[in-house]
Structure 1
Amino acid sequence: MIKNKITYNSFSDYQFKVTKAKDSFIWDDKGNKLIDFTSGWNVTNLGWNNEEIKKAIIVQAKKNIYSSMWLADPIQEEYASKLTGSLPKPLSTITREVTGVTANIMAIKTARAYTGKRKILSFRDTFHGSLYQTLQLGYAPEYPISKAIFLNFKDHIQLKYPRVNYEDKNEKQILNNFLNEVENIFKNDKEIGAFITEAGIITGWGSTFIAPKGFLTEVRKLTKKYGVLLILDEVGTGFSRTGKLYGMNHENITPDIVTFAKGIGNGSTIAATVTTQEIAEKTYLKSNPQSTFGWSPLNVAGALRTLEIHQRDKVWEKAKFDGDYIIKTLRNELKNISYVEDINGLGMEIGIRLKSGLKNFNMIKFIEIARSKGLHLANADSYSFQLMPPLTIERDILDNGLEIIVDLFNSFNY
């Protein structure tokens, strides 16, 4: 769709104009106040227009708003120290990125430069960014967009995600089957340089795709065994969203490379690719880590305050508590809705997946009705909703949003 000279795609099509946003609410151009259950897709984890973050940006604006790629503003070095200080010790070196897609492309460049191998192992039906190099990681060859822009999958191997549904009794078997598949690939293909994955959940495809317990631990063991670099995409899982400060903390693993964006700045445009000193020293002359607008001091000020708030308030603890509450509430209230297939998630990254093939279910209509009742929702595809409220949302507001969802499912004619 093209609306008011701006082009939107079918996934993130134009919905309405936002005239105001604050904490867990957004207002449209008709004055309607909406409870937000999207956080701009895991961006405003600390609420829209967080006052502390705004003040930090204003203070920095009075000092300096830009630093070129061969210079360093003092706040950039301060933030680099604090961000790496929040990570496992080997992860100590950062490239200054702008968005999640540039962070993931830098991770791929770094892995290839370090290993001398081109092939990347990833998961089908995942999203690591909208540019050519990252679409090849998760988009299948038969997708219309893959054909339209001539994606090249020669150097990519895509796996089916080892998904565990709610009440699955064979979780260990799912994990073992997956690990056997990965090990066979590593044994038979010596040209794989890296394996990229999110931290135990797919945040861009409905969020009911949850990996078995032990997934991160066992994948880390296999990548070490076969000399394959592990790239952890924490663009969606980082900054308390899944109930830990970072997704890697769920199983206390250390990847070779990790990427951050979205919630890293709570709306400030900033991203980061973090790796070890050894990898950085051997690759920086080959991987070309430069960006004209990477880490604008204004955005770094926002990111620095964001990290400080997460650490000070232990936001991840509330995210886990409220996330468990959301899942329990929805599973109980929607247990008699025959077309709901799965309700699952980690922390406050939660998906409601419907049974595929519902002939008369209209996802767009469902979302529009929810909005008319005061709730802003996001859908991942034609059969799944993704619930991502701000992690700071108050319980009464959260309950109001959940009540709208439950009432809609109980009354919606599909």
Structure 2
Amino acid sequence: MRANRAARRPATCSEQARPTHLNTFGQLLRVTTFGESHGPAIGCVVDGCPPGIAIAPEDFAHDLARRATGKTRHTSARHEADAVEILSGVYEGRTTGTPVALLIRNTDQRSKDYANIAAQFRPGHADYTYWQKYGIRDPRGGGRSSARETTMRVAAAVIAKKWLADRYGVRVQGWMSQIGEVVPNGFDAAAIETNPFFWPHAAQVDELEAYMDALRKSGDSVGARVTVVADGVPPGWGEPVYGKLDGELAAAMMSINAVKGVEIGDGFAAVAQKGTQHRDEIARDGFLSNHAGGILGGISSGQQVLVSVAFKPTSSLRLPGQTVDVEGNEVEVVTTGRHDPCVGIRATPICEAMLALVLMDQALRHRAQCGDVGEMSPRIPAATGKKR
């Protein structure tokens, strides 16, 4: 009876404004993803994409390969072709302004790996919470909660990165800034794309290889930190209260599988700083520091936008663990199959994707409301690195 009464109750204003099933991201640039880890395909629809962007199936290959498994012994052995099919929204190599639909066929599922644990709730996974929410779940590879879903975020962001670079000169780049207790001993941007860890210090790669080999042999896993930045973001993007740029970046990064923390700029390190250090003083020739991560009052300052993301250790382990099954019985669970000993290894392109998608959505929103404002004077350059 309660269910019937609830069905007849008129929706409130907040319910009418907020969709029930949140598989869509963004406001003017809206990205809807669909599909499961072991289903026939995954895909996305990019709505609100401006017309005239040059895009072809081969444009997706680079970033999808950076995210893919099976390219190194330090990630899952699952090997997907990740060939993008453009179903709509592109004519003669350019976007038309209508919804862009992208599809990727799943070609390397091994659903039998999950047969023995289909009735068990894996610790640290979404098995139990999906069961409680929906009353049914797809146990094959985590279904919708699998990191396989992030493939389509990366694909959608190929369009966003291209538009941001062509129209505003914005460049997005990420790297792994910590794995377990290991941090970079130096920083060389040229080294990031030369190793499977997206590590910015080439001399440490052998150390990381040995570290991951030992971890994989032990059967355990470890967490990681990924840092992603955007250069060239003009001042003015973001909203002052509920659509803050940093707030939407935090929400976007937290929507990525296994993320447990997000920092903007100095983040939690600001707790120990004095105001005289953190306040990013300004001179005529530029900001003197960038502790705020390029965002002030929820609006971009023209400085480098800097976000750091913390990933938890992988929960799928071959080491026995305690759980219960769908009948409530205590059981021992062992997760077999193909899993990453550190999910953060593949996370750099995903974090880049979410940063690019947020920035493109905010750029379109800024243009819609404030496109007539133009460039205001003075225009303060990004941090000079000099502190007076």
TM-score normalised per structure 1? 0.24
More helix by share: 1
Q: Which has the larger radius of gyration?
A: 2
